[in-house]
Copies of this chain bind each other. A is one copy, B any other.
């Protein structure tokens, strides 16, 4: 009967199944090492739209529709859309929601939104409030740059700690446990805000790493598990610098991440060849890497059980200009192949 474990973790009694997923990426991501993992690689950043913002919303909508299609469903077969993105007033999600016509829960967790939406979607399904839920996010290099930093046309030089916002969208369809075979979401750990005082919006990895470690530590504390219980711990978009810091900070809490730990932001691009500085970031980063690259390996039995910890930096250009530090959050979900034990 017990659904809560410790302070921040929910254990699903009837773990929801990920019955379908879809990933769409932009051209730069399509040149990276994971190019074959994605369902669709777009040839340009505009997708035939008049603005990058329209293109981003279009990707989110396409990803949701494709995920539904791969699960042999239509939009009307789902009970909820849980979606978000990085843009002011989450406009990519809002405009996609208009086209999908589903009961819509708009989320903002910055780059942690895919994990937040899967966590909350799992809860809706596990609790019997939805038979099927669509969880989706997007991000776009050009829309994010012009909103958070400089318009890309300006050609500002980027510092080595900066990360490249992934152009892409990911969507997953969750369904009632036992309804179909497939990977299941067994636990969700909802993060609380962590802020160690980092102020530099060009060094998100360092800002977010402490939140990732806090959520990992809390997840292990709440569940009584160790990192060895997971074949893979996967952070969302810490990038090279944040990943190193994450390993260091985890070590201080006696959690050894030297083995079986990856970061989506380090996997999506060729860090030597693709001029992406510290790696990838954005809501779509963890979404497309987890759904496109990792999930098939869970389906294939290559990973038995993984923990996705997606991090988000909850600042805005306004708070940055006002001299505030950057509050960060990390939400985690435990996913395993169907039929595994869900201790």
Establish whether residues B314 and A91, one from each chain, have CB atoms under 8 Å apart when the complex forms: yes
Complexed CA–CA distance, A192 and B53 (Å): 21
Which residues A97-140 have CB closer than 8 A to chain B? Answer: 97-98, 101-110, 116, 120, 123-124, 126-130
**CB <8 Å contact, B91 and A319:** yes
Instruction: Please name all residues of chain B whose beta carbon is closer than 8 Å to the beta carbon of A192 when the two chains form the complex.
Output: 97, 101-104
| A193 CB contacts on chain B under 8 angstroms | 94, 97-98, 101, 104
B residues less than 8 Å from A84 (CB atoms): 108
A37 contacts chain B at the CB level, 8 A cutoff: no
Stretch from A159-167, A251-259, A321-329 at the B interface: A321-329
Q: Are A106 and B109 in contact (CB under 8 A)?
A: yes
Binding site for B on A (CB under 8 A): 1, 3-4, 7-8, 10, 50-51, 53-54, 79-80, 84, 86-91, 94-95, 97-98, 101-110, 116, 120, 123-124, 126-130, 190-193, 195, 314-319, 322, 324, 327, 329
Integer count of this chain's copies in the complex: 2
Using A104-B190, A116-B105 as known contacts, say yes or no to A316 and B4 having CB atoms under 8 A apart: no
Could you jot down 5 A-B contacts, CB within 8 Å? A1-B128, A4-B79, A86-B89, A106-B116, A123-B123
Chain B residue nearest to A76 (CB atoms) is: B7
Assuming A103-B192, A129-B123, A193-B94, is B108 touching A319 (CB within 8 A)? no
